[in-house]
Amino acid sequence: MMEGVGARVVRGPDWKWGKQDGGEGHVGTVRSFESPEEVVVVWDNGTAANYRCSGAYDVRILDSAPTGIKHDGTMCDTCRQQPIIGIRWKCAECTNYDLCTTCYHGDKHHLRHRFYRITTPGSE
């Protein structure tokens, strides 16, 4: 559960908390996990609160800076970027379906599908 601590996040598809985060587009940092279903986020505006992260998703991971990592031999199945640079988002529901961060955050695939966040090439 500690794997996501420190991750930068934005509103997720199930957000229902008004402007608690400072408003659309504002960013926060994962401070801790209360359980596998609940995460504590500290928003850049100073507000800290608990959010759902299983079943319903109040927040989602943001790729806030280019990592420079290339996933050789991969291609984004939406925009066709080759190779995928930065975080590779692999659909857990579909066979061999990958997205780049731009397409992942642009909701370019089924919103209810789970995705694996691959930060290092070969770390599937």
Number of Cβ atoms within 10 Å of the Cβ of 67:
13
> Same CATH fold, 70-118 and 2-61?
no
* pLDDT digits 0-9 by tens, 80-118: 999 998 889 999 999 899 999 889 988 889 888 999 988
Q: Report pLDDT for 52.
A: 95
The CA distances from residue 47 to 17, 21, 27, 56, 87, in Å, are 12, 7, 11, 21, 27
Burial class (CB in 10 A: 0-12, 13-18, 19+), 123: exposed
Torsion of CA 56, 114, 68, 82, to 10 degrees: -140
Query: Is it the case that residue 51 has pLDDT exceeding 70?
Result: yes
pLDDT grade for 119, boundaries at 50, 70 and 90: confident
Domain residue ranges in the chain: 2-61, 70-118
Q: Does domain 2-61 have CATH number 2.30.30.40?
A: yes
**70-118: which CATH architecture?**
2-Layer Sandwich (3.30)
Query: Is it the case that residue 67 has pLDDT exceeding 50?
Result: no
